[in-house]
Amino acid sequence: MAKSTFVYVTYIRTTPEKLWSALTDPEYMKQYWFGVHCDSQWTAGSPWRMVHPDGQVTDAGEIVQAAPPRRLVIRWRHESRPELKAEGDSLCTMELEPTGSAVKLSITHSIEREPSKLIDAVSGGWPKILSNLKSLLETGAITLHAAYPAAASR
Mean pLDDT of 75-91: 96
Confidence class for position 146, pLDDT limits 50, 70, 90? confident
Mean pLDDT of 37-59: 97
Spatial separation of the C-alpha atoms in residues 57 and 79, rounded to whole Å: 7
Spatial separation of the C-alpha atoms in residues 110 and 127, rounded to whole Å: 15
Domain spans, the chain: 4-108+128-137
Residue ranges of alpha helices (H) inside 25-116 are 26-32, 82-85
Residue 154: per-residue pLDDT: 44
Mean pLDDT of 73-93: 96
Residue 148: per-residue pLDDT: 77
Closest CA to 109 of 131, 134, 132, 127: 127
> What is the enclosing helix (H) or strand (E) of 59?
strand 57-67
Mean pLDDT of 34-48: 97
Q: Are 107 and 117 in contact (CB under 8 A)?
A: no
Dihedral sign for Cα atoms in the order 86, 45, 132, 7 = negative
Spatial separation of the C-alpha atoms in residues 117 and 120, rounded to whole Å: 5
Q: 4-108+128-137: which CATH architecture?
A: 2-Layer Sandwich (3.30)
User: How buried is 21 (Cβ within 10 angstroms: 0-12 exposed, 13-18 middle, 19+ buried)?
Assistant: middle
**Total Cβ atoms within 10 A of residue 90:** 26
Mean pLDDT of 8-17: 98
The pLDDT of residue 150 is above 90: no
Residue 2: per-residue pLDDT: 67
User: Could you tell me the strand order of the sheet in which 71-78 lies?
Assistant: 4-12, 102-111, 90-99, 71-78, 57-67, 47-51, 37-40
Closest CA to 80 of 143, 36, 18: 36
The pLDDT of residue 151 is above 70: no
Residue 153: per-residue pLDDT: 46
